[in-house]
Amino acid sequence: MRSLCLLAALALSSLPSSARGADDILIADFEGDDYGLWAVEGRAFGRRPARGALPGQMDVSGFLGSGLVNSFVGGDSSTGRLVSPPFRVERKFLNFLIGGGDHPGETCINLLVDGKVVRTATGPNDAAGGTERLDWHAWDVSDLNGRDAVIEIIDSHTGGWGHISVDHIHQSDATKMAAPAERTVVARQPYLWLPVRNGATKRRIQVREGGEIRREFEIELADDRPDFWVHCDLTPWMGRELTVRIDRLTGDSTALARLLLSDQIPSQVWPPDNRRPEIHFTAPRGWLNDPNGMVFAEGEWHLYYQHNPYGWAWGNMHWGHAVSRNLVDWSNLPIALTPVRFGDWAFSGSAVVDEQNTSGWRDGESPLLVAAYTSTGRGECMIYSNDLGRTWTEYAGNPVVKHQGRDPRLLWHAPTNRWVMAVYTEAEGKQWIAFHHSPDLKSWTYASRIEGYFECPDLFELPVQGQAGDSKWVLYAADGRYVLGEFDGLEFRPDGPKHQLWHGNFYAAQTFSDAPENRRIQIGWGQGIEFPGRPYNQQMTIPVELSLHSTPDGVRMAAAPVRELRENFGHAAARFAGEVTPGAAAVVNAQFGASDVELVTPAGAQGQLEVSVFGEPVVIDYDARTVKVADVAPAPWNTQGDQLRLRIVADHGSLEAFVGEGLTAVSARARLRQDSPALLLLRTGEPLSVDATVYQRTLPLP
Between strands 148-155 and 107-113, the pairing is antiparallel
Residue pair 545/560 in contact by the 8 Å Cβ criterion:
yes
Q: 239-264 as b/e, with b when 16 or more CB fall inside 10 Å?
A: eeebebbbbbbbeebebbebbbbbeb
Q: Which residues contact 605 (CB under 8 A, 6 or more apart)?
A: 622, 644, 685, 686, 688
pTM above 0.85, yes or no: yes
Phi, psi of 24 (to 5 degrees): -70, 155
Give the pLDDT score at 21: 59
Three-class DSSP category at 269:
helix
Give tens-digit pLDDT for 377-420. Answer: 999 999 999 999 999 999 999 999 999 999 999 999 999 999 99
Number of CB atoms found within 10 A of residue 595's CB: 27
- State which amino acid sits at residue 689: S
Measure the CA angle with vertex 145, ends 169 and 116; round to 5°: 75
Decide if pLDDT at 376 tops 50: yes
123 in Cβ contact with 161 (< 8 Å): yes
**How many Å apart are CA 134 and CA 63, to the nearest integer?**
6
At residue 474, φ and ψ (nearest 5 deg) are -115, 130
Which pLDDT score is estimated for 699? 67
* Whole-number pLDDT of residue 11: 32
CB atoms inside a 10 Å sphere around CB 66: 12
Beta bridge partners of 692: 576, 599
Distance in angstroms (rounded) separating the CA atoms of residues 3 and 567: 36
How would you classify the pairing of strands 300-308 and 626-629?
A: unpaired
The three-class DSSP label of residue 120 is: strand
d(CA 288, CA 519): 25
Q: HEC profile for 426-452?
A: EECCEEEEEEEEECCCCCCEEEEEEEC
- 532 CB-near residues (< 8 Å, 6+ apart): none
**Residues contacting 284, CB < 8 A, separation 6+:** 265, 266, 267, 332, 536
| pLDDT over 90, % of the chain | 89
Q: How confident is residue 7, by pLDDT bands cut at 50, 70 and 90?
A: very low
Rounded Cα gap, residues 592 and 583, in angstroms:
25
- pLDDT (average), residues 66-73: 98
pLDDT of residue 5: 39
First to last CA, the chain: 22
pLDDT(191) > 70: yes
In the chain, DSSP finds a helix count (H) and a strand count (E) of: 4, 54
pLDDT exceeds 80 at position 479? yes
Residue 497, exposed/middle/buried by CB under 10 A (0-12, 13-18, 19+)?
Answer: exposed
| Contact of 499 with 483, CB cutoff 8 Å | yes
Question: Could you give the CA distance from residue 486 to residue 495 in angstroms, rounded to a whole number?
Answer: 8
* pLDDT 10s digits, 204-260: 999 999 989 999 999 999 988 999 999 999 999 999 999 999 998 887 788 999 999
Q: What is the pLDDT of residue 425?
A: 98
Among the listed residues 563, 561, 556, the one whose alpha carbon sits nearest the alpha carbon of residue 464: 556
pLDDT at 19: 38
User: What does DSSP say about strands 260-262 and 608-613: parallel, antiparallel, or unpaired?
Assistant: unpaired
List the one residue out of 196, 180, 178, 191 whose CA is nearest residue 250.
178
Q: How confident is the model at residue 12 (pLDDT cuts 50, 70, 90)?
A: very low
Q: Predicted confidence band at 18 (pLDDT cuts at 50, 70, 90)?
A: very low
Tens of pLDDT along 642-675? Answer: 999 999 999 999 999 999 999 999 999 999 999 9
255: DSSP letter: H
Name, in order, each residue with C-beta under 8 angstroms of 49's C-beta and a sequence gap of 6 or more.
Answer: 30, 31, 32, 34, 35, 67, 68, 69, 70
Closest CA to 172 of 140, 216, 213, 197: 140
pLDDT, tens only, 267-314: 888 888 889 999 999 999 999 999 999 999 999 999 999 999 999 999
Element housing 522 (H / E)? strand 521-525
Question: In whole angstroms, what is the distance from residue 418 CA to residue 341 CA?
Answer: 32
**Any idea which of 250-264, 309-323, 571-585 has the lowest mean pLDDT?**
250-264
Which pLDDT tens digit goes with each residue over 345-358? 999 999 999 999 99
CA distances from 473 to 318, 458, 470, 492, 519 (A): 31, 10, 11, 8, 14
Q: Each residue of 162-198: b (16+ CB within 10 Å) or e?
A: bbbbbbbbbbbbbbbbbeebebebebebbbbbbbbbb
How far is it, in rounded angstroms, from Cα 123 to Cα 70?
12
Q: How many CB atoms lie within 10 A of CB 45?
A: 27
Q: What are phi and psi of 525, to 5 degrees?
A: -90, 125
Residue from 104, 566, 445 nearest 434 by CA: 445
Amino acid at 259: L
**For the sheet containing 492-494, what is the strand order?**
458-463, 471-476, 482-487, 492-494
Output b/e per residue, 499-524; b: 16+ Cβ within 10 A: bbbbbbbbbbbbbbbbeeeeebbbbb
User: For residue 668, which of 477, 528, 480, 522 has the smallest C-alpha distance?
Assistant: 528
Q: Is 270 left (phi over 0), alpha (psi -120 to 50) or beta?
A: beta
Q: What is the mean pLDDT of the chain?
A: 94
Regarding beta strands 132-133 and 60-61, do their DSSP bridges make them parallel or antiparallel, or are they unpaired? parallel
Q: Which burial class, exposed, middle or buried, applies to 143 when counting CB atoms under 10 A from its CB (0-12, 13-18, 19+)?
A: exposed
CA 100 to chain centre: 24
- Comparing CA positions, the residue from 460, 516, 466 lying closest to residue 492 is 460
Please, what's the largest Cα pairwise distance for the chain?
93
> Residue 327 CB: number of other CB atoms within 10 A?
24
Q: How many Å apart are CA 438 and CA 446, to the nearest integer? A: 9
Which of the residues are catalytic? Answer: 290
Sign of CA dihedral 665, 670, 673, 676: negative
Residue 15: per-residue pLDDT: 35
For residue 75, with 0-12 CB atoms within 10 Å meaning exposed, 13-18 middle and 19 or more buried, which class applies?
A: middle
Lowest-pLDDT range of 34-38, 52-56, 129-133, 293-297: 129-133
